[in-house]
Chain A
Amino acid sequence: MSEHPTTYVPKSAFGKWFESRLPIAGLIHSSFIAFPVPRNLTYFWTFGAILVFMLVSQIVTGVFLAMYYTPNAALAFQSVEHIMRDVNYGWLIRYLHANGASMFFVAVYIHIFRNFYYGSYKAPREVLYILGVIIFLLMMATAFMGYVLPWGQMSFWGATVITNLFSAIPVVGDTIVSYLWGGYSVGNPTLNRFFSLHYLLPFMIAGVVILHIWALHVPGQNNPTGIPIKSGKDAVPFTPYATIKDIFAVVVFMLFFAYWVFYLPNYLGHADNYIPANPAVTPAHIVPEWYFLPFYAILRAIPDKLGGVIAMISAILIWCFMPWLDTSKVRSTAYRPLYKQFFWLFVAVCILLGWLGSRPAEGWYVIASQICTVYYFAHFLIVLPVLGFVERPLPLPNSILESVMGVQKGGAGMPAGANAEPHSKG
């Protein structure tokens, strides 16, 4: 695929001895040092590194929280207040963890829509992409169970509403729900198992992330043109080019993250969650965390219990079929003038759905949610398949190099070495 060196030769005697027994240095070298990266990547390609950072951040802050937190229905709420008031810097660790979940989702949504825009889900990256959808589902499950742990009103009622989704399953639904609860309603057994799973799932996410990166390193990264690397001139080595850019992006993202943690730590949460769980009273207006809102709006748009649950689950699972629903041969939306408009319309509909999910389920909000839900599915089931046939894409550049440097006429007018292979520069 490229002329970049991928065979790693250890220099020291110990290195040689170790490498012949566990070739991990070679793996790291070929994956993160010599790995060829398209030279035209934008900052949209730094969100993968940002996501890895957020996962590590959640695990580190989570492990510390778990040292002070008590997973018991009678004590959980108090223990979170204890973290906030008594534990040294407990407030910081908790705010990092609670806002970190939101930042994780900010990054994942940008990452996902980047894939949608640049057609990164298309062959040969289907498996890589579906692994990503699996990570997203695991993230949703983890965040949902984490939100239950402080055992406030939103924790309790969120847990009740979401676990009750399973009661929509015909015949066995109620049994499944009592197995989820470990009782006849959400209670102490539910809290205990959610804590256990909330601790476990992030490590499962880490496992799937490894598969995701492995699958990425087979076809390599997509890029803003959507055309593959054809020669070494189209690529730069991962280190230092991508490494430095990723680190810079992570640092900028940390500033954004810090802003929320230090200036608006409770803005993304819900005030009702500072009221201890009360099984006799539902808060007047229950809403999930912002990152679940578009799916929640779809759930409520369907005036039928089972239908609503099916629509909500399908809204995510349908992503898995995108590689086959999209019939266009062109990956990047930059070369798809018609699809570009539909893409932004789709983004607008998703944001609108999110907003509708935060409104009460009444009046025109319901009708608007229904219209948006229909459009959401139409995007996948009608727009994606049909456009591939009717759209005339713009001409693609011949190579990545050409897209960044312009069409070359024998190299005239180019600074010397500008189109030489980067690793042979200077």
Chain B
Amino acid sequence: MAETTTHVAEPTRRDFLYIATGAAAAVGGATLVWPFIQSLAPDAATVAAGAPVEVDLTPIAQGQIVKVFWRGKLIFIRHRTAEEIKAAEDVNMASLRDPQPDSARVKEGHAQWLVVYGNCTHLGCVPLGQQGEYHGWFCPCHGSVFDTSGRVRGGPAPINLPIPPYSFASDTKIIIGQEATA
């Protein structure tokens, strides 16, 4: 007995048992932690409440921005004027922090409608419409500036206001949360 433990440098059966026990405990521990972490994620009811919502565009006048909620998140629907569309299109791509042409941010044939998430991509405040250097949005929290396409043009926000999934059901109705099935 004593000889085997003092002289053998080779891994022993006991070493193997230690490692196997430790590994089983680690896997067991991780398995136990998993459901607790998962319980923090958006729950089934919250996910279910994320069903698509329909928005009627007829009451939204030109130049107006309307706020709606989808999945608890704020969304801006902006009925852009001709100048606002032109300003959004005539932009030197190279000057943008998050380069994206205006055409990629609206649905084809519906350039007057801009639909974007309404929380600043910096830390989530609600930017104020028609304000700031580009008359798009200005975030009062830390000074991010967005243009009439919702693209970031200044301040600490890293990316453009993202576009939620949506589609046009008709010329005057959109469905937020559902992309057109092409």
- A residues lining the B interface (CB < 8 Å): 157, 160-165, 167, 178-185, 187, 189, 193, 279-282, 284-286, 300, 302-306, 308, 360-362, 366
Asked whether, in the complex, the Cβ of A179 is within 8 Å of the Cβ of B41, the reply is yes
A162 to B124, CA, bound (A): 9
Q: Which residues in A have their C-beta under 8 angstroms from that of B125?
A: 157, 160-161, 282, 286
Q: With the chains together, A179 CA to B42 CA distance in Å?
A: 7
A182 near B42: Cβ-Cβ < 8 Å? yes
Query: Chain B residues near A286 (CB, 8 Å)?
Result: 125, 140-141
Q: How far is the CA of A183 from the CA of B142 in the complex (A)?
A: 25
Residues in B105-160 with C-beta less than 8 Å from chain A: 118-119, 122-126, 140-143, 155-158
**Closest partner residue, chain B, to A279 (CB atom):** B74
Q: Is the CB of B42 within 8 A of A161?
A: no
- In the bound complex, residues from chain A placing their C-beta under 8 Å from that of B118 are 280
In the complex, per-residue mask of B33-49: 1 if CB is within 8 Å of any chain A CB, else 0 = 00001001111001000
Shortest beta-carbon contacts, A-B, top 5: A164-B123, A164-B124, A282-B125, A161-B123, A160-B124
Q: Which partner residue on chain A sits nearest B39 by CB separation?
A: A182
- CA gap between A165 and B67 in the complex, in Å: 24
Contact indicator A185/B158 (Cβ below 8 Å): no
Contact B124 A180 (CB under 8 A): no
16 other contacts beyond A178-B41, A184-B72, A300-B142, with CB at 8 A cut-off? A161-B123, A162-B123, A181-B42, A184-B46, A185-B71, A187-B72, A189-B42, A280-B67, A280-B118, A282-B126, A282-B141, A286-B125, A305-B123, A305-B157, A360-B140, A361-B141
Decide if A279 touches B41 in the complex (CB within 8 Å). Answer: no
A179 to B36, CA, bound (A): 11
Chain B residues contacting A300 (CB-CB under 8 Å) are: 142, 156
Q: What's the nearest-Cβ distance from chain B to residue A269, in Å?
A: 19
* Smallest CB separation, B65 vs chain A (Å): 11
Given known A279-B69, A284-B140, A304-B158, contact A184–B122 (CB-CB < 8 A): no
Residues of A within 8 A of B42 (CB): 178, 181-184, 189
Q: Is the CB of B156 within 8 A of A305?
A: yes
- When the two chains form their complex, are residues B123 and A184 in contact, meaning their CB atoms are under 8 A apart? no
Give Cα distance in the complex from A280 to B129, angstroms.
12
- When distances are taken between beta carbons in the complex, the residues of chain A under 8 Å from B126 are 280-282
Q: Answer whether A308 and B156 are a contact pair too, CB < 8 Å, given A164-B123, A165-B123, A178-B41.
A: yes
Contact between chains at B46 and A182 (CB < 8 Å): yes
In the complex, A303→B24 CA distance in Å?
47
- In the complex, 8 of the A-B residue pairs with CB atoms within 8 angstroms, ordered by the A residue number, are A165-B123, A184-B71, A185-B119, A280-B74, A282-B140, A305-B123, A360-B140, A361-B141
Q: State A21–B25 Cα separation when bound (angstroms).
A: 35
B72 interface neighbour in A162, A167, A185, Cβ under 8 Å: A185
Q: Which residues of B contact A162 (CB under 8 A)?
A: 123
Neighbouring B residues of A282 by C-beta, 8 Å: 125-126, 140-141
User: Chain B residues with Cβ under 8 A from A304's Cβ?
Assistant: 156, 158
Q: With the chains together, A213 CA to B169 CA distance in Å?
A: 67
Closest residue to A280 on the B side, CB-wise?
B67
Are A183's CB and B72's CB within 8 A? yes
Contacts of A284 in B (CB 8 A): 140
Contact B155 A183 (CB under 8 A): no
Q: Contact: A180 with B156, CB < 8 Å? A: no
Q: Which of A178, A280, A361 contacts B142 (CB 8 A)?
A: A361
Given contacts A305-B122, A362-B143, contact A184 B155 (CB under 8 A): no
Q: Is B86 an interface residue (CB 8 A)?
A: no
